[in-house]
């Protein structure tokens, strides 16, 4: 048989091949190599100026400028604010270190002034920033942008990273790798880089920016000065002139002369050009060739001395704690007990030399400790430990999810029970677990460590997805088979006959009576019924339909699409939807704060609505008890825990902002769904649905009404035979099946358990609220019995247990509607 292939696949690969091999667009008037040589020459010139300048050669207030990009008078930067910013940074430093500040700035500190601060800053700190009164309001038109960047296509555009509000969040991630970061000769200074994430609460949509800064760190005192570097601002070359004292200037100049020389030398010898090794763009591309210019940043950071929880007599010895041993134990743990200590805390004073604003970290003494504590965080080693603990907690949650799922799958082992479960409820859970699997696979790129643990838990999440997809396949097969059976019944229903002349009395037939729907009573036994479909013998589990038996008499009128093809389409749609959802989520991680919060709140709300499809299916099919209650409660709790972690824990591994209001809405919505499921089980699946809103369905719990003929009452056993007056049974009065027991009650036989069924019955002509039960009591009482369409009555528990395995009446073997 010839196999025809879709030509669109080959067309797609041809287009992809052409796109990959197409040459990059080149500008004829732009010589890339000559421009790169100009950049290298400018860097050598800046390095030479750095070597021969001294402290005080750059002072805007005294009209002293340097021939360095961004440090010239014609560049139009607000360097006159630098002096006040330095004073503010020294004030912050003096408030933390006290009298040792002057000796540190002058280089006179020694072992007496040893400060308990981390020698390696690898980690993160986060908090709030506020605008300082030292800020200046400046616009791009006030700066000579055309002279600095003659090729800039947007000379009058607004500056990026321009924080114009009064406050917002800020987070700083430090990178200072041990043994790989270059340090000074005596280890008093080292290079450090950091990634800064800063937001503006007063901007439209809560905008935020992310950029890189490079600078120097002084391990002895815990101070650091970092700056951005771009084509319009040679910040790394101006860094020594931004220090707080002449001693710090000399220390930084000695380190930078060597490190910058090595960097530029590697830049020259590289095969591929690197335009700016100190670029502030997180992606690592040149951020001055495209787009509008941005505000530059200079950050003055001071680490707070650690506070150890020691005994009162040991408090004076806090400064003598061996910080080198402490950091070594954190990095390479041997099991030694570590003293409890305060978190990594830093004060910040930020300054933009071109945009003119000055920001400070929010905390004492300007703000009370209950409101803010400057920038707090943890070391990389502590963060990795916390991430591993979160991974283990997620593994436990995944294990509980698997346990509840396996129990529910075992409970739904028959077609009758699988037919009650909503396919989309399990599909939403599977989609969430698949998203968690993809997130765990790629999360190591963000965390940097714990890759093996992440992959292990990702495998557990994948195993959960596989089980859920298998369960979905079973549910889909049963429900599709049921739908095909209903289609066959509709197709086999004979068309109404043409009008016939009136028949003689001997030939007159009884008119057909419609099947009962909704809350109507079952048909009497003598009523004519539709022509049944051909008899199909099935085993007790109803899973053994053969192909010959399931084939209808007229295949042309029935849908013949195989279920296996539908399942293949189902899996394809699942994978495509999961991949699309994952990539859309990745795109929304880089948008403004308001849009990002709206998207994630919406996604979480849709995700925790996994019980809504089950509630809908209960209404449409008029069924109850589709799911185990331990499955409902357990899945609700374990799936809300990860959501609550990211909404309620401030220092979570993804650094998401807390939102207690949104978390309360999500928890309340899940609680409402659980209450709805419980109400459907107790009061009926349609107790809150008006008549006509849902399609008709047979009601196994009708309100029984007694009439004169008794045609609508359930069928009881045969009339009692005459008894011998001398027999023992005649001496004790017993109620016969169908006999009244008091006012408004009757007793019938349950053929499954062979005991009596006590049923409330409304007498002929009686009110609905009769017998003092009221409608509320009647609704509850009717849940104790079930009446089949063939007018047989059973205990609810007995018939539900029977219908878990067979959808036929235990008495007459007539096919029953699904429960």
Boundaries of domain holding 788: 698-717+735-819
96 with 301: CB under 8 angstroms? no
pLDDT tens digits for range 343-395: 999 999 999 998 889 999 999 888 988 888 999 999 988 888 888 888 889 99
Cα separation values, 434 from 227, 575, 587, Å: 41, 9, 18
Are residue 298 and residue 399 in the same domain, yes or no? no
129 with 198: CB under 8 angstroms? yes
Closest CA to 299 of 465, 125, 430: 125
The β-bridge partners of 194 are 174, 213
Is the confidence at residue 488, as pLDDT, over 80?
A: no
Asked whether residue 27 is domain-assigned, the answer is no
Are residue 214 and residue 149 in the same domain, yes or no? yes
Are residue 224 and residue 365 in the same domain, yes or no? yes
pLDDT band at 604 (very low <50, low <70, confident <90, very high): very high
pLDDT score of 624: 76
pLDDT band at 691 (very low <50, low <70, confident <90, very high): confident
pLDDT score of 719: 37
Are residue 253 and residue 399 in the same domain, yes or no? no
Is the confidence at residue 503, as pLDDT, over 50?
A: no
Question: Could you give the 3-state DSSP secondary structure of residue 170?
Answer: strand
CATH number for the domain spanning 747: value is 3.30.40.10
Are residue 137 and residue 226 in the same domain, yes or no? yes
Per mean pLDDT, which range of 98-107, 246-255, 403-412, 756-765 is the poorest? 756-765
pLDDT band at 239 (very low <50, low <70, confident <90, very high): very high
pLDDT band at 725 (very low <50, low <70, confident <90, very high): very low
Helix, strand, coil shares, percent, the chain, to 5: 45, 15, 45
Is the confidence at residue 740, as pLDDT, over 90?
A: no
Are residue 666 and residue 782 in the same domain, yes or no? no
Closest CA to 666 of 683, 649, 690, 648: 648
Round to whole Å and give the CA distance between 738 and 716: 6
Are residue 702 and residue 776 in the same domain, yes or no? yes
Asked whether residue 59 is domain-assigned, the answer is yes
Most confident of 65-79, 176-190, 600-614, 743-757: 600-614
Cα separation values, 783 from 299, 471, 676, 697, 796, Å: 71, 30, 17, 17, 7
Round to whole Å and give the CA distance between 205 and 173: 24
Domain boundary among the residues 351, 373, 395 is at 373
Is the confidence at residue 801, as pLDDT, over 60?
A: yes
pLDDT score of 113: 63
pLDDT tens digits for range 563-591: 566 667 778 888 899 999 999 998 898 88
pLDDT score of 606: 94
Are residue 356 and residue 429 in the same domain, yes or no? no
Most confident of 457-466, 492-501, 761-770: 457-466
Is the confidence at residue 728, as pLDDT, over 70?
A: no
Are residue 261 and residue 154 in the same domain, yes or no? yes
What residues have CB less than 8 Å from 282, skipping those under 6 apart? Answer: 195, 210, 211, 212
Sheet holding 704-705, edge to edge: 704-705, 755-762, 745-750, 739-740
pLDDT band at 427 (very low <50, low <70, confident <90, very high): very high
pLDDT band at 780 (very low <50, low <70, confident <90, very high): low
**How many structural domains does the chain have?**
3
Are residue 757 and residue 636 in the same domain, yes or no? no
Between 310 and 248, the more confident residue is 248
Round to whole Å and give the CA distance between 304 and 291: 38
pLDDT band at 178 (very low <50, low <70, confident <90, very high): low
Asked whether residue 807 is domain-assigned, the answer is yes
pLDDT tens digits for range 248-279: 999 999 899 888 998 888 888 877 778 888 98
Asked whether residue 253 is domain-assigned, the answer is yes
pLDDT score of 311: 59
Closest CA to 256 of 216, 296, 300: 216
Are residue 60 and residue 188 in the same domain, yes or no? yes
Kind of pairing between the strands at 755-762 and 704-705: parallel
Asked whether residue 615 is domain-assigned, the answer is yes
Cα separation values, 590 from 531, 585, 811, Å: 64, 9, 66
Asked whether residue 543 is domain-assigned, the answer is no
Between 748 and 177, the more confident residue is 748
pLDDT band at 8 (very low <50, low <70, confident <90, very high): low
pLDDT band at 730 (very low <50, low <70, confident <90, very high): very low
Is the confidence at residue 695, as pLDDT, over 90?
A: no
391 with 457: CB under 8 angstroms? yes
Between 540 and 244, the more confident residue is 244
The β-bridge partners of 759 are 746
pLDDT band at 58 (very low <50, low <70, confident <90, very high): very high
Rounded to an integer, the average pLDDT of 309-329 is 67
> Which region, left, alpha or beta, applies to residue 122 given φ > 0 means left and ψ of -120 to 50 means alpha?
beta
Between 87 and 793, the more confident residue is 87
Between 782 and 669, the more confident residue is 669
Rounded to an integer, the average pLDDT of 2-13 is 51
Per mean pLDDT, which range of 48-62, 136-150, 218-232, 616-630 is the poorest? 136-150
Asked whether residue 619 is domain-assigned, the answer is yes
pLDDT score of 26: 46
pLDDT score of 432: 92
pLDDT score of 758: 80
Rounded to an integer, the average pLDDT of 204-228 is 91
pLDDT score of 203: 84
* Mean model confidence pLDDT for the chain: 77
Q: What percent of the chain has pLDDT above 70?
A: 72
518 with 691: CB under 8 angstroms? yes
Burial of 365 (C-beta count, 10 Å sphere; 0-12/13-18/19+): exposed
Per mean pLDDT, which range of 244-248, 414-418, 663-667, 670-674 is the poorest? 414-418
pLDDT band at 723 (very low <50, low <70, confident <90, very high): very low
pLDDT band at 12 (very low <50, low <70, confident <90, very high): low
Asked whether residue 517 is domain-assigned, the answer is no
pLDDT score of 76: 84
Between 315 and 214, the more confident residue is 214
Nearest 5°: the CA angle 647, 653, 658 is: 20
Is the confidence at residue 622, as pLDDT, over 90?
A: no
pLDDT score of 403: 93
Are residue 251 and residue 360 in the same domain, yes or no? yes
Round to whole Å and give the CA distance between 637 and 644: 10
pLDDT score of 769: 46
């Amino acid at each position: 048989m010839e196999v025809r292939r879709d030509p669109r696949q080959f067309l797609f690969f041809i287009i992809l091949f052409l796109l990959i091999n197409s040459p990059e667009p080149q500008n004829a008037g732009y010589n890339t190599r000559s421009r790169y040589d100009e950049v290298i020459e400018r860097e050598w010139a800046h390095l030479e100026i750095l070597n021969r300048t001294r402290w005080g050669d750059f002072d805007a207030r005294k009209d002293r400028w340097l021939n360095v990009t961004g440090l010239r008078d014609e560049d139009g930067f607000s360097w006159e604010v630098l002096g006040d910013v330095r004073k503010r940074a020294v004030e912050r430093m003096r408030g933390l270190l006290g009298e040792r500040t002057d000796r540190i700035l002058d280089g006179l500190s020694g072992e007496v002034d040893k400060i308990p601060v981390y020698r390696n800053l690898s980690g993160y700190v986060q908090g709030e920033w506020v605008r300082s009164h030292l800020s200046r309001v400046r616009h791009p038109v006030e700066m000579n942008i055309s002279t600095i960047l003659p090729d800039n296509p947007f000379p009058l555009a607004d500056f990026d990273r321009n924080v114009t509000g009064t406050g917002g969040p800020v987070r700083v991630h430090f990178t200072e790798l041990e043994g790989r970061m270059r340090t000074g000769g005596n280890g008093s200074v080292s290079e450090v880089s950091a990634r800064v994430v800063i937001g503006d609460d007063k901007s439209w949509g809560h905008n935020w920016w992310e950029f890189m800064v490079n600078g120097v760190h002084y391990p002895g005192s815990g101070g650091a000065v970092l700056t951005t570097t771009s084509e319009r601002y040679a910040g790394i070359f101006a860094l020594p002139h931004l220090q707080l004292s002449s001693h710090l200037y000399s220390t930084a100049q000695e380190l930078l002369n060597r490190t910058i020389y090595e960097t530029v030398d590697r830049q020259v010898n590289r095969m591929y050009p690197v335009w700016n090794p100190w670029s502030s763009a997180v992606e690592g591309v040149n951020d001055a060739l495209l787009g509008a210019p941005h505000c530059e940043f200079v950050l003055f950071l001071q680490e707070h001395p650690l506070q150890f929880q020691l005994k009162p007599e040991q408090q004076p010895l806090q400064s003598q704690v061996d910080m080198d041993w402490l950091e070594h134990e954190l990095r390479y743990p041997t099991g030694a007990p570590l003293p409890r200590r305060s978190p990594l805390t830093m004060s910040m004073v930020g300054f933009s030399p071109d945009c003119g604003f000055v920001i400070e970290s929010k905390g004492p003494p300007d703000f009370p400790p209950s409101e803010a504590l400057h920038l707090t965080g943890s070391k990389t080693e502590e963060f990795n430990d916390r991430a591993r603990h979160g991974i283990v907690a997620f593994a436990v949650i995944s294990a509980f999810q698997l346990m509840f799922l396996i129990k529910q799958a075992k409970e739904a082992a028959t077609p009758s029970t699988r037919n009650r479960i909503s396919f989309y409820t399990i599909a939403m859970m599977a989609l969430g677990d698949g998203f968690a699997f993809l997130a765990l696979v790629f999360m190591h790129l963000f965390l940097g460590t714990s890759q093996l643990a992440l992959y292990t838990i990702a495998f557990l999440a994948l195993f959960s997805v596989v089980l859920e997809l298998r369960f979905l396949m079973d549910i889909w097969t049963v429900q599709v088979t049921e739908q095909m059976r209903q289609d066959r019944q509709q197709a086999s229903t004979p068309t109404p006959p043409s009008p016939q002349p009136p028949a003689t009395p001997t030939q007159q037939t009884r008119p057909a009576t419609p099947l009962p729907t909704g809350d109507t009573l079952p048909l009497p036994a003598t009523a004519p019924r539709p022509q049944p479909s051909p008899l199909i013998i099935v085993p007790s589990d109803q899973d053994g339909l053969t192909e010959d038996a399931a084939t209808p008499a007229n295949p042309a009128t029935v849908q013949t699409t195989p279920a296996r093809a539908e399942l293949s389409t189902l899996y394809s749609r699942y994978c495509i939807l999961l991949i699309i959802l994952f990539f859309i989520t990745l795109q929304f991680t880089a948008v403004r704060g308001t849009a990002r919060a709206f998207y994630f709140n919406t996604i979480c709300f849709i995700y925790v609505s996994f019980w809504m499809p089950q509630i809908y299916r209960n209404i449409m099919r008029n069924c109850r008890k589709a799911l185990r209650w331990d499955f409902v409660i357990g899945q609700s709790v374990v799936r809300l825990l990860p959501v609550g972690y990211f909404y309620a824990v401030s220092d979570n591994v993804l650094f998401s902002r807390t939102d207690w209001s949104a978390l309360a809405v999500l928890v309340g919505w899940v609680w409402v769904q659980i209450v709805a499921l419980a109400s459907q089980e107790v009061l009926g699946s349609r107790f809150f649905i008006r008549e006509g809103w849902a399609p008709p369905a047979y009601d196994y719990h009708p309100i029984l009404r007694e009439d004169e003929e008794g045609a609508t009452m359930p069928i009881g056993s045969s009339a009692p035979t005459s008894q011998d007056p001398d027999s023992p049974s005649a001496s004790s009065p017993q109620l016969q099946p169908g006999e009244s027991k008091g006012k408004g009650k009757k007793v019938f036989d349950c053929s499954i358990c062979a005991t009596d069924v006590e049923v409330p019955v409304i007498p002929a002509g009686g009110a609905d609220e009769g017998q003092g039960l009221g409608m509320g009591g009647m609704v509850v009482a009717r849940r104790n019995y079930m009446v089949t369409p063939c007018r047989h009555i059973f205990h609810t528990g007995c018939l539900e247990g029977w219908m878990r395995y067979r959808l036929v009446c235990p008495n007459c073997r007539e096919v029953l509607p699904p429960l």
